[in-house]
Amino acid sequence: MKQASICISPLDWGLGHATRCIPIIDAFKSLGYKIYIASDGNQEAILKQAFPDAHFLSLKGYGVRYTKNKNLLFFSLVLQVPKILVAIAREYFWLKRAHRLHQFDLIVADNRFGFFHKKLPSVFITHQLNLQTPFRWTSNLYQLLLSTWLDKFTACWVPDIIGDHNLSGVLVHPKYKPSIPIWYMGCMSRLQHKLVNENYNTPNVPEAQNKTEIEFLAIVSGPEPQRTLLENQIWDAGNALGLPFVMVAGLPTQQLYNKITAAGELYHHLDASHLVKQIQRAKYIICRGGYTSLMELTPFHKKLILIPTPGQTEQEYLAKYWAENNWAICFDQSKFNLEIAIKQASAHDFNWPDYAQFSTDALASALKNLEKL
């Protein structure tokens, strides 16, 4: 009997699309699927580290770049639309060729619009059913176009929970809902299984080392040039402040990037086990506030300081939404002051959101439903 196979591909717009695929791929492996992963660059590097035995197929990403000026970002993205459309067409025809060669049984696209096959069950994963843009009319237009485009897929899977206290707010409550079935998958974190007890001690690390505290952990990733701008800003301020801290640059392919000073440690990338260790040591976590990062950090109950990518309206909305719920505090990058942010975080009364974990059993049920469509 032929082993069922899945081909999954994450968007290359930041690392979050790749990292949130890790628990999904784990679940598919548990269900006996043969795993094909279509990706390249940093996303491929992260997934190869997590799944060295998977079958990797080279597929170019969308290659979107940001601007230094947040006010120009929207218009820059508009100018990149032709390039994005070419990438969508390219991945559609790439998948048709790849299927003829490998005979997939299921297609899973994490925010890749052209990654579907007309003759195969094709799933679209997104938390952006109600994408926030600078203008209401463009937000409504995107929702309408998305709901129409998703008819090309068999189902839509949303990595969040249903209810008033979901992690992504209005992002998962669109005015125009897709006509295809929607499954709210629950929250997913590649770090969740690393938490071995309620005290969140790291496996195989001495207890005394677990308790060695650092002032903050800064996790910096996302499109350039804003990623580098934030990295330099926090690195310089952290060293000037002189308190112990760690930075993760989100550059898994640049192994010579690491450096150490009297106060700070900068790593190009950390695998899940080592990242968990640093999260546990930190009093505060500083990050962009991309949706996957927020999902992964929620179970740790850490004080979060969010600095959304300038002009990226989704992150700006999430930062505001989380701050309104007292799940985090947030700052504009252009006005960010590290010392002030730490003082505010130390005095802030934080709450933490509900967290319903994605499970293999739930995936198995969703796949049975998919067979009926």
* CA gap 143, 159 in Å, rounded: 18
pLDDT value, residue 294: 93
pLDDT above 70 for 201: no
Tell me the domains of the chain and their CATH numbers: 5-188+357-372 (3.40.50.2000), 192-347 (3.40.50.2000)
* CA gap 169, 184 in Å, rounded: 13
Residue 142: band (very low, low, confident or very high) from pLDDT cuts 50, 70, 90: confident
pLDDT above 90 for 181: yes
pLDDT value, residue 130: 85
Within 13 Å and on the Cβ side, how many CA atoms surround 315?
Answer: 25
pLDDT above 90 for 182: yes
pLDDT value, residue 242: 94
pLDDT above 80 for 99: yes
Smallest CA-to-CA distance from 247 within 234, 266, 222 is with 266
Residue 222: band (very low, low, confident or very high) from pLDDT cuts 50, 70, 90: confident
Q: What is the mean pLDDT of the chain?
A: 88
* CA gap 284, 342 in Å, rounded: 8
pLDDT value, residue 148: 85
Q: What stretch of H or E contains 229? A: helix 226-241
pLDDT, tens only, 35-92: 999 999 989 999 999 999 999 999 998 877 777 666 666 677 777 788 889 999 999 9
pTM: 0.85
pLDDT value, residue 195: 55
pLDDT value, residue 333: 92
Estimate the crossing angle of helix 338-347 against helix 226-241, to 10 degrees: 80
pLDDT value, residue 146: 84
Residue 167: band (very low, low, confident or very high) from pLDDT cuts 50, 70, 90: very high
Average pLDDT estimate for 290-318: 91
